[in-house]
Structure 1
Amino acid sequence: MALFSGNYNYVRDGANQALNRLVAFLEAQGCTVRVYSPTSDTPAFEPAGTLVSLPSFAIPGRGEYRVALGLPDRLKQDIQAFAPDIIHLSAPDPAAHATKKLARRLGVPVVASIHTRFETYFEYYGLGFVRPAIEVLLRRFYAGLDEVFVTSAGFGETMRAAGIISGQPAVWSRGVDKLRFNPVRRSPEWRWSLRIADDEPVIGFVGRLVLEKGLDMVAAAAAELKRRGVRHRLLVVGDGPARAHFQALVPDAIFTGFLDGTNLARAYASFDMLLNPSTTETFGNINLEAMASGIPVVAARAGGNESLVSDGATGALVTPGDVAGYADALGGYCSDAGRRAAHGKAGLAAAQAYDWDVINGAVLARYQAVVAAGAA
């Protein structure tokens, strides 16, 4: 298989880690995978598969991300020599558009996966006027493919309703490492080191600190809790270009910076609840990691959050932009430890169903069906 990614390992995020897990699984099943992506001299982690660098340029104002350019002749020849049975496109960039055309010329089945609400990002940076044009480009990109993968059935319906895709997409969900993310990681000692009292409710936020993650809504909810006199601490795990902006909005919050591995798992389990107001998530890996850690999730009623969080059972879903609604949900958990524990226990039970090997095995089975249909 040939996989095309806009960011395979030069920045660590949920989408590229899912792609790396998929490639590692495919190789463990005896598949050969060649990955084409922009690269960096300082990658965030080691890649799975054979990584081939695509020519790219840094996005102005967001230099940590890169856009892959078109497909040079040398890479077209590289693909033809590799002779993949199937091509998977995971970002609608110029290189992927060129690869889609090449695949059709070579008679190779081509599929794509949607990992984020890319078309909505521009609104967070005062560029909302370009969204209609971006949606036109996305419709063209996803048209005529042999398969489109989405992270949940609900998100697929959202994309169909927006006219971005047509037909019934396949679901490529996400799993969670339950050995890493689990309640036994909770550490009173770590909380004490951050000067958090045992009886002080901790609201956790995890993610790259970029505007599209809903940072302004986190700040507004925290300010409303403070105005109401609700005792709490906001604990922020992550880093990114909007950190200074965010810190100015929540001066009382604790910022740990980027955490990974068992340190990240310890942080999740040491929260008392997770706040995720992002409306751009197509699945919400952080929701699942929080559930596996035994804590309730307060999330926006949007995107992939609705496929994971059961309102009133494993957490609370709030209308996007409803500051009072977020404060109500968070304040309820802050004041009721028993409710926190019950919803955290229910989330832990629900998380057990999300197994990476089963999920990626379903993707492999779909690849095989697409290849067989093309051969027929």
Structure 2
Amino acid sequence: MRVLHLTPGTGSFYCGSCLRDHALIRALRARGHDAIMAPLYLPLVTDREVSNPEIPIQVGGVTLYLQEKLPFLRFVPRFLLNWLNSPAILRIASNFIGMTSPRDLGRMTLGALKGEEANQWPEWKRALDWIKTEVKPDVISLSNGLLLGLCPVIKRDLGIPVIVSLQGEDSFLDTLVEPFRTESWAAMRSNAQHVDHFITASTYYGDTMAERLEVPRDKVSVIFNGLDVTAFAAARPDPNWPTIGFFARMIHGKGLTTLVDAYIELAKRGTVPRVKLKIGGSTMASDQKYHAGLKKKIADAKLTDRVEWHPDLSFNDKVKFFRDLTVFSVPATYGEAFGLYVIESMASGVPVVQPRHAAFPELIEATGGGILCEPDDVKSLADALESLLLDGPKRERLISSGTVRVRSEFTAVRMAEKFDEVMRLVKQKHGSR
């Protein structure tokens, strides 16, 4: 079966969605499918060579932004727009992600969701023409719900079944300023009626989005995100320097403030001598002020020499990062749809402490590789970290359970098997109409 997977790139940093998509495409190919991954917006950044390096970016982020702001650009010569979509220009543009004004961000999001009614449509239409005349897939897969604006036209003009993966759209849309938040959700609900099937990475998020998109729950399948577990080696932390790890986007929403405060609380107790904190993950220029505030808080606690910062690591360096950890926590403050970092930690033989909300209880139950604390509660997190750091036998039990289950149920192979089942079901239903 020929499947086309459309996924936005980040241009300059790794993201969980990109890694998941790349692993999925590779695993689908191993199953015999003609699977193609086409990048949107910015170049893809993955843990290995891009799946289809010969396929250029189909919808450039710079061009979309300019067409939204300056609609007359649809009449600009194509060679100039192609230059704006070149990888070099887009990688430069990626450095300014996060610096767009709230209103511009809302306008861009709504423009994409409104489809052919929006200023951005000429660029999207080019991509659909490419799909129709050159790719001719049996199934189209969209990596997230913010691409739903394409679905009405795909269904009407291309007649190709569409599968849409949902992962984190609510936490993004809910932060948009009005009227863009309300209008974007309305567009999402309308476009969702043109989707053949949805996939989410957790039951929690499937229930959440089925309700918010007003689609039947049986139209949404749960497939745990998978990864190439062979890339992760067993951790070998220094017993003389117990280390707490954090690896995600280095922002407040991922719970970094909560973890720093819990670490300071734990260090003050003195029950775990020489305890260290390693912070890693992607950053943007707009995050620097926030990081400076955290570093001052750590300095005031006289802990600067025991806290390490590792921004924007390569994939190989991230794998090495996990090897030094004793425990791991990303106590996200919002309703995380999955949290690939939890699985990466367990694949590395590192037990986790996560808040008792969103998808985390589901992941802990499915893996047995960690414990839960109360959400946004510094003391509860400090207590949970302390309990694991002081209880070696318990850590070993969690490590054993988490490693075994992740390596059996959270692999790219397992993810592709279940995705394959959904594709065949959708293709069969579509052919019977």
**TM-score, normalised to structure 2's length?**
0.74
**2:163 — aligned with what?**
111
Q: Percentage identity across aligned positions?
A: 21
Q: Which has the larger radius of gyration?
A: 2
Root mean square deviation, CA, Å: 3.1
**Contact 1:208 1:238 (C-alpha < 8 Å) held by counterparts:** yes
Aligned mates of 2:385, 2:189 — CA distance in 1: 38
Cα–Cα, structure 1 residues 63 and 2, in superposed 2: closer, same or farther, change >3 Å?
Answer: farther
Cα–Cα, structure 1 residues 96 and 156, in superposed 2: closer, same or farther, change >3 Å?
Answer: closer
AA in 1 matched with 2:313: L
- Mapping of 1:242-281 within 5 angstroms? 242-250=287-295, 251=298, 252=304, 253-278=307-332, 279-281=334-336
Q: Secondary structure at the match of 2:207?
A: helix
**1:321 — aligned with what?**
376
Q: Secondary structure at the match of 2:121?
A: coil
**Contact 1:122 1:128 (C-alpha < 8 Å) held by counterparts:** no
Displacement after TM superposition at 1:259 (Å)? 2.8
Q: Which is further off, 335-344 or 25-34?
A: 25-34
Task: Summarize deviations over 1:23-63 as a string: whole Å, max 9, x none.
Answer: 223334241425251124x9566421334420323798615
Cα–Cα, structure 1 residues 309 and 154, in superposed 2: closer, same or farther, change >3 Å?
Answer: same
AA in 2 matched with 1:62: G
**1:75 — aligned with what?**
127
**1:155 — aligned with what?**
205
Aligned mates of 1:77, 1:344 — CA distance in 2: 50
Q: Which is further off, 6-15 or 78-87?
A: 6-15
**Contact 2:161 2:430 (C-alpha < 8 Å) held by counterparts:** yes
**Contact 1:2 1:36 (C-alpha < 8 Å) held by counterparts:** no
Aligned mates of 2:122, 2:214 — CA distance in 1: 24
Of residues 333, 340, 358, the one that matches 2:414 is: 358
Aligned mates of 1:23, 1:51 — CA distance in 2: 17
AA in 2 matched with 1:160: A
1:33 and 2:36 equivalent?
Answer: yes
**Contact 1:294 1:348 (C-alpha < 8 Å) held by counterparts:** yes
Task: Summarize deviations over 1:320-359 as a string: whole Å, max 9, x none.
Answer: 2122211110111222233222222222222222221122
Of residues 216, 240, 246, the one that matches 2:257 is: 216
Task: Summarize deviations over 1:211-241 as a string: whole Å, max 9, x none.
Answer: 3212222222223223434432111122302
**2:425 — aligned with what?**
369
Aligned mates of 2:41, 2:186 — CA distance in 1: 24
Displacement after TM superposition at 1:170 (Å)? 1.2
Of residues 175, 189, 195, the one that matches 1:145 is: 195
Aligned mates of 1:233, 1:374 — CA distance in 2: 55
- Mapping of 1:152-301 within 5 angstroms? 152-162=202-212, 165-168=215-218, 169-183=220-234, 185-186=235-236, 188=238, 198-231=239-272, 232-241=275-284, 242-250=287-295, 251=298, 252=304, 253-278=307-332, 279-301=334-356
Of residues 54, 59, 62, the one that matches 1:54 is: 59
AA in 2 matched with 1:138: M
Q: Secondary structure at the match of 2:338?
A: coil
**Contact 1:180 1:261 (C-alpha < 8 Å) held by counterparts:** no
1:86 and 2:144 equivalent?
Answer: no
Displacement after TM superposition at 1:76 (Å)? 2.9
When you count helix as a share of all residues, which structure comes out higher? 2
**Contact 1:122 1:131 (C-alpha < 8 Å) held by counterparts:** yes
**Contact 1:100 1:110 (C-alpha < 8 Å) held by counterparts:** no
**1:191 — aligned with what?**
none
Cα–Cα, structure 1 residues 238 and 101, in superposed 2: closer, same or farther, change >3 Å?
Answer: same
Q: Secondary structure at the match of 2:249?
A: coil
Displacement after TM superposition at 1:130 (Å)? 6.2
Aligned mates of 1:311, 1:332 — CA distance in 2: 21
Q: Secondary structure at the match of 1:88?
A: strand
Aligned mates of 1:318, 1:121 — CA distance in 2: 25
AA in 1 matched with 2:207: E
AA in 2 matched with 1:257: P
**1:6 — aligned with what?**
8
Displacement after TM superposition at 1:6 (Å)? 2.8
**Contact 2:201 2:222 (C-alpha < 8 Å) held by counterparts:** yes
